[in-house]
A and B are shown apart, each in its own frame.
Chain A
Amino acid sequence: MNARLDHQEVRGLFGALLDEELTDGKAASVREHLDGCTDCRIGWDRYARAIELVRKVAREKAPPSLASTILWRVRREGLFGARGLVRAHAHYRVPIEVMLPVVLGAAIAALILLWL
C-alpha cells in the first residue's frame, strides 16, 4: 500500500518524477495522487510539457569563423603581450561620461591639495 501524499508533497516531487529519480513506490504514490487530483494533474502536465518543449529545441551552432577568430586572437595577444589589459580595454572600457567627471574631480582635488 502506497503512502498517501498531499498536494504540496506531490508538486515538490515533480522534478524527481521528471528525472526518474523516485523509487518505484514513491513514483507509484505520486501517480496515484495525480490520477485522482485534477489540479495536480494539470500542474504536472504543464510542468512536463514546458520542459519537453525546452529539451526539444534545436541547439545553436557556432559561426564557422569563431574558432579561427579565437585562434588568431590567441596568437596576436601572445605576440603583443599585455593581453589582459588589451582585452579589458576592448570590452570593459570605462565610458567617457564616467571617465570625464572622474578625471575632472581628480584634477580639482589635486589643485585644492596644492593650494592648501
Chain B
Amino acid sequence: MQSTGILAEERTAPARESEVPSPRALGFEELVVAYQDSVFDFCCRMLGDREEATDQAQEIFISIHQSLASFREASKLSTWVFRVAKNHCLNRLKYLRRRGRGRSFAVEDVAEDSLQAAVPDLGHPDDALVRKDQAAIVHRAIAQLDDDQRALVVLREIEGMAYEEIAGVVDLPIGTVKSRLHRARERLAEIVVAMGVET
C-alpha cells in the first residue's frame, strides 16, 4: 500500500506568513516582492497563460495597493492577497469567455509553446525532461477542472495552504472546502488516468 507519509513530507508549504507580518508593518514594495511569485504562480495555473498571468498579477497588486486601508489585521495577509487574486482570476476568466477567448479545457488544445514557456529547464537534461513531462501533464490536467475546482486544487496542492486559510480565501466553511476539494481531487485523478499516465 502506498504510504501517505511521503506525500505529506514532500510538501513544502511556502513560509509566507512568518516573513510578512502585515502590509502596514512593511512597505508596499516589500509586499510585492514577498508575494509576487505566489500570486504569479496562482495566476498561471488559473489562467493557463503566462502573458495573461503577468497582466493579472499587475492588476491584483494595483488593486491591493488601492485597498490597503481596508485590510483588516484580523485576517491573515496571505488570505487577503489570495482572495483578491482568486476574484481577479475568476472575473478575468468570465470576461475572456464572454469575449470568446476563454482558456481551453481540451487536452489537445493546450498549446505546446505555452507548455514550454511554463516549464523551466533545471539540472540534468534527463531530469529536466521528466520534469517537463510531469509539468505538462499537470498543466493539462488542471486546465480541465472547472474554475472553482482549479482554485481549490491550486491553493491546497501547489500553494500548500491549510484548509482554514483556503476557507478564508474562497469564503466557504471548512467542511465545504474539504468535500469540494475531495471531488476536485477525484476528478483530477480521472483526468490523469484518461490522459494515459501510468499510476
Residues on A lying within 8 angstroms of B by beta carbon are 12, 14-20, 31, 34-35, 41, 43-63, 66-67, 69-71, 73-74, 77, 83-84, 87, 91-92, 95
In the complex, B192 has a CB within 8 A of chain A: yes
The smallest beta-carbon distance between A74 and chain B, in angstroms, is 5
Interface of B is mostly: helix
Q: Which of B2, B7, B55, B122 contacts A58 (CB 8 A)?
A: B122
Whether the Cβ atoms of B185 and A15 lie closer than 8 Å is yes
Interface of A is mostly: helix
Whether the Cβ atoms of A31 and B192 lie closer than 8 Å is no
The segment from B15-23, B56-64, B76-84, B103-111 that touches chain A is: B56-64
Q: Which of B61, B66, B138, B158 contacts A83 (CB 8 A)?
A: B66
Q: A50-B141, A87-B59 are in contact. List 11 more A-B contacts (CB 8 A).
A: A47-B186, A54-B188, A56-B10, A57-B134, A58-B119, A60-B37, A66-B32, A67-B36, A70-B58, A87-B62, A92-B95
In the complex, B5 has a CB within 8 A of chain A: yes
